[in-house]
Structure 1
Amino acid sequence: MGSTFISLVGCSVGPDYKPPKLEVPQNWKWGEQKPDPKGSHSREKPQIEEKKTAWGGNDLQGEENIKRAIEEARKNPGKWKLAAPKDFVKKGQWWKIFNDPVLDQLEAEAEVANQQIKMAMANVIEARAGVGAALSAFFPHTNFTPSYQRWKLKTHLPWLPFILPEPIFSTVPLLGQNGIPIPSGSIIGSTQYYGFQPTLNMWQVYLNSNWELDIWGKLRRQLEAAKAEAQASQAELEGMKLTIHADVAQAYYLLRYIDSQLEVMERMIHVYEDNLKRVEIRFKSGLSNELDLARAKTDLSRIKAQYIALESHRAKVENSIARLLGQPASTFHFPRKPLKEDPPHVPQSLPSDILEQRPDIAQAEREMAATNAMIGVAYAAYFPSVNLNAYFGFFNTDFGQLFTWPSNSWIYGPLIDLPIFEGGRLLANLMQARAAYEKAVASYRETILSAFEEVENALIGMRLLEEEQKVEDEVVASAKKQYDLALDRFQRGLSHYIEVDTTESVWLNAILTDIALRGERFIVRIALIRAFGGGWADSSMKKPSFQQNQSKN
């Protein structure tokens, strides 16, 4: 009998959590080697088209093709592997690869003062407290409950006439009305249900204890869910830190390349002013017409307006940095620091397993485990709950006699609660828990797909932005030469100012675009680091100390 009880206590209803398998490509499409339209990338296209044909609805052999595809997938699992998040791996201060002390200082301030990080830390503490609350359900709950009540009863109870009066015996010797002593144990009266006293005092002091036996594993499933939620909140904290550090770095380099553009525009304003003076001199001497003069004035006004708009954009970026650092925007000022250096090298041929250290993936996986455990909680509600209750205390209408032994009272025994009719509530809760799990699985897979999308987009940016800037450097040089030739022709009277106007605008736009590309190359590297999960050092790529169980299928 004891072994049967132990086996019952040891069981847990509901599905045990198993990490899902995910499709993980072996290489990045835009890694170190650029995709060749005539190479291996194009050779995959006929395979995709062949799969579409095999699964097409018009194919008479579609069912056989599906069976063969399933059988082949079972024999050759290929790119599918079990989910094994590694968000616990230390990423380090990845921003130090930029070798910028100012950025290091900003990141340090954001680490300790950012309010979103503090909110995420509070969520971690809250979730850990939830684990303690779930763990407390395994222990008996005992309460000390003293109370006092004053009752008012009816003096006439017509619904009790069938109860016969009962004699009342004295417990101590008494003195009768005539002075005759009455020994203890004598009858001194009888209960009269038609003569209750109208008020009554009731004093109670008792201990009440309740212990729920976890026979069906409901409490264990609740604890399992609480632990998973606590781990998810920790991953959320790491993800928030990664996001804030990346936002600070990106805003910092955005601000710096805007400073570079402002520096260029200040020089170009002087160029436009000099050109306006040249046109005015030629206009006064009759060598230029009024249209050339109007164009020169328009060009100068336009570039000044662009300069003001760029200053406005810089101020907004500066305010965003202040918020990330936990400082009021009104008191934060960042001096100008034009961007001159080239971005550092970031490896692009890392294995796709590095995505397992992304905090958002780990958070989604832990939330999936939590919702799976709640299925067991909903399923356990179908089974009877068993509670061991115990009660011991004292109660009496006379406070002076409250703590005497005749005033004691006690109760103990099991209480079984078996649901009979709930109006469909239990089934609805179970369906809700299962739907929540399916939703968590879909969210987890969507997070994986988003991670690969972010990495590929960042890799595209790293490769193509570098190539684009090389071309843009040539555009700047050509535009400068074109402008010099146009200005020379204008000064010699061989052309109108419209040539200078056009080439000058092309030259300015080429310079601004070249600076923007340099800044975007910094920003896209930060985006790649964020997409990788915040680190790629050799120490970060070591295997975890424990072994992950992987399915053989």
Structure 2
Amino acid sequence: MKKFLPGICITMLLSSCMVGPDYKPIAVTIPQQYKQAAKPQPGWKIATPADTLDRGCWWQIFQDPVLNDLEAQLNITNQNIASVAAQYAQSLAIVKEAKAALAPMVTGTISASRQKPSASAFNSTSGTGTGGVTPTNGSGRSLKPYSTYIISFNASWAPDIWGAVRRVVEADADVAQATNALLAATRLSAQATLAQDYFEVRTLDNLQSVLDQTVKDDRKLLHLIKLRYQYGIASAGDVLQTQSTLENAEVNAINNAIARAQYEHAIAVLMGIPPALFSIDPKVTTLKPPIVPNEIPSELLERRPDIAEAERQAAAQNAQIGEAVSNFFPVLTLTGAGGFQSNIFSKLISSPASFWMIGAQLMGTLIDGGLRRAQLAAAEASYDQAVANYRQTILNAFQNVEDGLVADRILRKEEIAQRHAVNTSRAALRYQLENYKSGTVDLTTVLVAQTNYLTTEQYEVNVVGRQMVTVVELITALGGGWDVNQLFNPPASPSPYFKN
């Protein structure tokens, strides 16, 4: 054993080496504030993905109990989240599988057999054979059956001298982290989609109330026109025109109900529930978009899981460069075997029945037609692509936030202007209706004023609904809300599988 000790020590020492470049965080300079923020501030900082920071229950900012209940259930029953969660579990198992290649492989075998050789195969053999077999001496008589008992152990180990296996483990761990980020992105996307669809439903509920009231008002107006027609004040054309306006209003109310049902079905699917078993009670709701802070630090953006996913993919591609470099070096494999073999069971565990073997193999590729160089070039190009994707993901994230900020600011101004338009059109309708009753204007003037009022009222409802959806989009773009207190929460403990 002493003669093998120096070789074992050298092998262990070499196993601490690892070829290929070590991963260094990608330098991306980002602004500390946004152009469209109410109070932009100059300054730049280095991007550092922080997807482990707590996003909290960001939807609670809307203070809607129904939405809160739906979001809580979504995290449990959404099938897209469940699918990616299973993918994440699979990636963790792959990391374990890759780590197993660092350890020796030992197998054991226990076998027992009894056999009778063919007499014709030994018709030229004389004397007594081993293991209790007595061959024939040409007489052609059958040989005696004999038994064989074997207990054996085989071991093999390929020391990771150049770090090829460790690079595989590193890459698989980075992929697992990327999958974990994908899980967070899927969860955030599902939460945001649910919130958007829910506010679409509430917007349509409010719009349904407006349309139903319009139908009631048109019916009252039709009743008035019919009375005036009976007294000869209005014409038959006025009755038909008012009847047509009423029927159009009824059609709009029906179409609105169709759109609401479709959004409700979409929410049911998000919840993992068949649409036939799910419903949201209609309710007129005063939608109040939360106020976006004047200052939003760009650090919040670093919680976006898609940024973390892109960064981890780049790290995985970097590890694969080291794996490609290791292919240029030979692979050392140490093997050994030993055990006992006997034809007599009682003498199986004995010194004469023992056997052993130990050996080593060094194997490397001599000529491959440029295959390894091509593989290395491909790995380096894949890393460059991953770096570009990471930087582009950050740029896209800033665009999403800037778009959300400007949309929120403009929609708030639009909502104020639209509210004034509704008040003005309502007053104009009342004024023209009184003039019609007094005979100073015709019915067409009243219907035009009524249509204008309905249009402005519908637009006001839609603007508020768009505000709610825009705020959800902004929250999603920021990675889950704008609470700066979340920046100082300690990150979750990393999984032990992520240790390279």
Asked if these proteins are the same fold (TM beyond 0.5), I'd say yes
Question: How many residues get paired?
Answer: 483
Q: Specify which of 30, 54, 65 is matched with residue 90 of structure 1.
A: 54
1:468 shift after superposition: 0.2
| Greater mean alpha carbon deviation, residues 7-16 or residues 217-226 | 7-16
- Gaps spanning 5+ residues in structure 1: where? 41-77, 173-187, 547-553
1:17 shift after superposition: 0.7
Structure 2 equivalent of residue 549 of structure 1: none
1:123 aligns to what SS in structure 2?
helix
Q: Specify which of 49, 66, 86 is matched with residue 102 of structure 1.
A: 66
Mapped pair 1:140 → 2:104: yes
2:448 aligns to what SS in structure 1?
helix
Mapped pair 1:444 → 2:384: no
1:512 aligns to what SS in structure 2?
helix
Q: Which amino acid aligns with 2:15?
A: V
Q: What aligned pairs does 1:74-223 form with structure 2 within 5 A after superposition?
A: 79=44, 81=46, 83-147=47-111, 204-223=150-169
1:503 shift after superposition: 1.8
1:488 shift after superposition: 2.5
Q: Hey, what's the Cα distance between the residues in 2 that align with 1:153 and 1:169?
A: 14
Computed over aligned residues only, the root mean square deviation of the Cα atoms, in angstroms, reads 3.4
1:478 shift after superposition: 1.6
Mapped pair 1:26 → 2:32: yes
Contact persistence 1:395–1:407 (CA under 8 A): yes
Q: Hey, what's the Cα distance between the residues in 1 that align with 2:135 and 2:216?
A: 119
1:147 shift after superposition: 5.0
1:127-182 alpha-carbon deviations (Å, 9 max, x no partner): 2222222222211111123457879889579xxx9xxx99868899xxxxxxxxxx
1:10 aligns to what SS in structure 2?
coil
| Greater mean alpha carbon deviation, residues 508-517 or residues 531-540 | 531-540
Distance 1:171 1:449, change over 3 A: closer
Q: Hey, what's the Cα distance between the residues in 1 that align with 2:131 and 2:69?
A: 86
Structure 2 equivalent of residue 363 of structure 1: 309
Structure 2 equivalent of residue 179 of structure 1: none
Distance 1:151 1:452, change over 3 A: farther
Structure 1 equivalent of residue 427 of structure 2: 481
Structure 2 equivalent of residue 496 of structure 1: 442
Q: Hey, what's the Cα distance between the residues in 2 that align with 1:151 and 1:451?
A: 77
Distance 1:146 1:429, change over 3 A: farther
Q: What aligned pairs does 1:187-336 form with structure 2 within 5 A after superposition?
A: 204-336=150-282
Identity of aligned residues (%): 31
Structure 1 equivalent of residue 288 of structure 2: 342
1:314 shift after superposition: 0.6
1:65-94 alpha-carbon deviations (Å, 9 max, x no partner): xxxxxxxxxxxxx8462x421111112212
Contact persistence 2:154–2:335 (CA under 8 A): yes
Q: Which amino acid aligns with 2:14?
A: L
Q: Which amino acid aligns with 1:112?
A: I
Structure 2 equivalent of residue 49 of structure 1: none
Distance 1:171 1:142, change over 3 A: closer
Normalising by structure 1, we get a TM-score of 0.78
1:24 aligns to what SS in structure 2?
strand
Q: Hey, what's the Cα distance between the residues in 2 that align with 1:322 and 1:544?
A: 35
Structure 2 equivalent of residue 536 of structure 1: 482
Q: Which amino acid aligns with 1:306?
A: N
Q: Which amino acid aligns with 1:133?
A: E
1:8-53 alpha-carbon deviations (Å, 9 max, x no partner): 3222111111111113123211111499xxxx9xxxxxxxxxxxxx
Contact persistence 1:371–1:436 (CA under 8 A): yes
Normalising by structure 2, we get a TM-score of 0.86
Q: Hey, what's the Cα distance between the residues in 2 that align with 1:99 and 1:204?
A: 74
1:220-272 alpha-carbon deviations (Å, 9 max, x no partner): 11111122122222222222222222222222222111111101111110011
Distance 1:115 1:189, change over 3 A: closer
- Gaps spanning 5+ residues in structure 2: where? 1-5, 493-500
1:507 shift after superposition: 0.9
Structure 2 equivalent of residue 15 of structure 1: 21
